[in-house]
Amino acid sequence: MVNKMIAENVLHRPVRSTVSILAVAIEVAMVMLVVGMTSGMLNETARRVEGVGADIMVQPPNASFMLGLSSAPVPVKVGDRLAQVPHVLAVTPVLIQSSLTNGIALIWGIDMASWDRVGGGFVYHAGGPMTGPDDALVDDWYARANHVKVGQTLTLLSHEFRVSGIVEHGKGSRLFIPLSTAQDLAGAHDKASIFFVRCTEPAYTSDTLDAIHHLIPAYQVLSIKEYMSLMTSNNLPALQAFVTALIGVAVTIGFLVIFLSMYTTITERTREIGILKSLGASKTYIIGVVLREAGALCAVGIIVGCVGTVLARRLIEASFPTLAVELTLGWGFRAAILALVGTLIGASYPALRAAQLDPVDALAYE
Amino acid sequence: MEPIIATEDLRKVYRLGKVDVPALRGVDLVVQEGEFIAVVGPSGCGKSTLLHVLGGLTAPSSGHVLVDGNDFMTMNDADRTRFRRHTIGFVFQRFNLLPTLTARDNIAIAQDIQGNGFNPHHFQAVVELLGIEGKLKHRPYAMSGGEQQRVAIARAVICEPKILLADEPTGNLDTENSQIALNMLRTLNRSFRQTILMITHNPEAAAVADRIIRMRDGRIVSG
């Protein structure tokens, strides 16, 4: 009977109910999308590094595991020393540069020959390898997002490049230029930002790692597996704080809308609460009715939010093909719990206020 | 036999701002089980307050109030709510049906609040007695005043309360519907020995009762 009454109340005030449902839906969608975009970006970056095909990465001292933040080039000759380490099959140097033309982009300067030995080379969707100093490669996601075609001129680092090929995404970066050109443009001759090392067998990774540590103790040496495990928002305090702040804003919005909605409802229904009290409804009964109504609105809001999130993800990925949004069941569940807790807290004060109404005053309410 | 309602020097004082307003100034009343009593008197004489106190909607300020053996002076709000749930049925002048529910649900919710679950046989008997079988799917806005009041009476008696308190039940009804509502109250009283305390301004309505109590200035002046 109470469920029926709640359903009728929800349907009786469609605008109020819709606004409440939308607030919860936005809260859920915001939490899921913020987390999904953050983890999507990090995981996709990590997968691209894994896609290089190396077992170990070597960076200069004090370099960040966020590769775009590494601006401490070291001599390419370090690569020759690495190549001498037992069980090392191939080493490839990469000079990473940031371009602010058409948004922030990381451009990897690579040496095609050693790159191919480490990772087995690119898969070409169109065109072919870089053959000249002004050639560039883009991955298929970048090409789709920026409508880039083979042969087209691309301005990167204030320099004009000819797109020689479009490659399968998932190998390091989205933009590649020859290492020597990158070094010229950066004024860092014979320098690299990072070395990718391929072992003769993956089983030798640990031994090789130790040997490299011994050889160049000040350098940062990580297995690709370790690097993958570091690529979480927990290891990026600023990003974690940003995500937490956005989640806090989303939960606060949901809380406030539900609070206002239920508070208004209680005021509108003062007389009805008086009727229930005249029939002998206890405070617990009245609180239960209000909280269950808020819970019902929240439940619908969560469903709408989840559906909205999936639709928003499709829209984002269609509009920005280079953005990855990773939605997980775990975060969907957490977003639902956050919404439910926010809703119940938001509805608690109106519920208590309703329970404490004087029945005589409530019955006389106009 | 013990009276079902007994008050002695019952007083109720409301506080409006910084002013104390005495609504009941020493009411002595005895009601036997099965009595049908009409309470009459001018506006502001304390009739409704008396009904609210006897129904447990508000606490008395002083005096003695025994209803069905329960001493209201020793009961808190939760005790009176529990008591009201099982012992009192209210009928109001403005019907006070829940606007979003159908007639059927308005009646059934009283059973839900009482906690004994829906009793289809008793439900059927009550709606037949009150002649509202055809209106059960209607919401209040789709019913006439007379029909709404019959639904309200059905809701008040569905849990078989020992006492029915009616606050001007014919106040919003035309003559024909007033007569129907009064006949139903009379039938409930005669057929089921339902104790009824009814406030009214209408002398014809009061005449239906076994006994008429007159109030003035918060006191019973006759009856």
**Do A83 and A221 contact (CB within 8 A), yes or no?**
no
Looking at the complex, report in whole angstroms how far the Cα of residue B28 sits from the nearest Cα belonging to chain A.
Answer: 22
Residue of B nearest to A285 (CA): B113
Distance from CA of B162 to the nearest CA of A (A): 14
C-alpha to C-alpha distance for A106 and A175, rounded to whole angstroms: 7
Residue B120: exposure state from Cβ atoms within 10 A (0-12, 13-18, ≥19): exposed
Nearest in space to A10 (alpha carbons), one of A344, A297, A290: A297
Q: What's the token pair of residue A165?
A: 């090929």
- 3-state class of A41 per DSSP? helix
Question: What residues are paired with A223 via a beta bridge?
Answer: A56
Residue A70 pLDDT: 57
The per-residue pLDDT for range B182-201, each reduced to its tens digit, is 988 998 898 888 999 999 98
Pick among A1, A6, A8, A278 to test the B interface (most B CBs inside 10 A): A278
Q: Could A363 and B96 be called an inter-chain contact, meaning their C-beta atoms sit closer than 8 Å?
A: yes
Give me the DSSP letters along A266-289. HHHTHHHHHHHHHTT--HHHHHHH
Phi first, then psi, for residue B27 (nearest 5°) are -100, 125
Judge whether residue A68 has pLDDT over 60. Answer: no
* Cα radius of gyration rounded to whole Å, chain B: 17
Q: Measured between alpha carbons, how far is residue B118 from residues A281, A325, B18, B112 in Å?
A: 16, 51, 47, 7
The pLDDT assigned to A102 comes to 60
Burial class (CB in 10 A: 0-12, 13-18, 19+), A230: middle
Tell me the average pLDDT of chain A: 88
Rg (CA), chain A: 29
Q: What is the pLDDT of residue A233?
A: 67
Nearest by CB to B84, which of A280, A283, A360?
A: A280
Chain B positions in Cβ-Cβ contact with residue A8 (cut-off 8 Å)? 100-101, 105
Q: Which two tokens stand for residue B26?
A: 């020493």
pLDDT digits (tens, 9 = 90+) for B65-79: 999 988 988 899 999
Q: From chain A, which residues contact B within 8 Å (Cβ)?
A: 1-2, 4-5, 8-9, 11-12, 271-272, 274-283, 285, 358-360, 363
Tokens of residue A17, six digits: 């109910």
Chain A interface disruption, residue of B51, B79, B81, most A CBs within 10 A:
B81
Distance CA A163, CA A150 (A): 5
Digit-coded pLDDT (tens) for A318-330: 888 777 788 888 8
Judging by beta carbons within 10 Å of its beta carbon (0-12, 13-18, 19+), is residue A14 exposed, middle or buried?
Answer: exposed
Calpha distance A9→A261 (Å, rounded): 13
Q: Report phi then psi at A297, rounded to 5.
A: -60, -40
Nearest partner of A173 among A150, A146, A197, A140, judged by Cα? A140
Asked if residues A262 and A298 have their Cβ atoms less than 8 Å apart, the reply is no
Report the interhelical angle of B103-114 vs B145-157 (nearest 10°): 20
What is the ipTM metric for this complex? 0.91
B14 touches chain A (CB under 8 A): no
Residue B106, classified by CB atoms within 10 Å of its CB into exposed (0-12), middle (13-18) or buried (19+), is buried
- pLDDT score of A235 more than 80: no
Give the mean model confidence (pLDDT) for residues A25-40: 89
pLDDT at A220 over 60: yes
Q: Encoding tokens for residue B151? A: 């639904």
Q: How far is A272 from chain B (nearest CA, A)?
A: 6
Q: How far is B157 from chain A (nearest CA, A)?
A: 11
According to the model, what pLDDT value does residue A302 have? 95
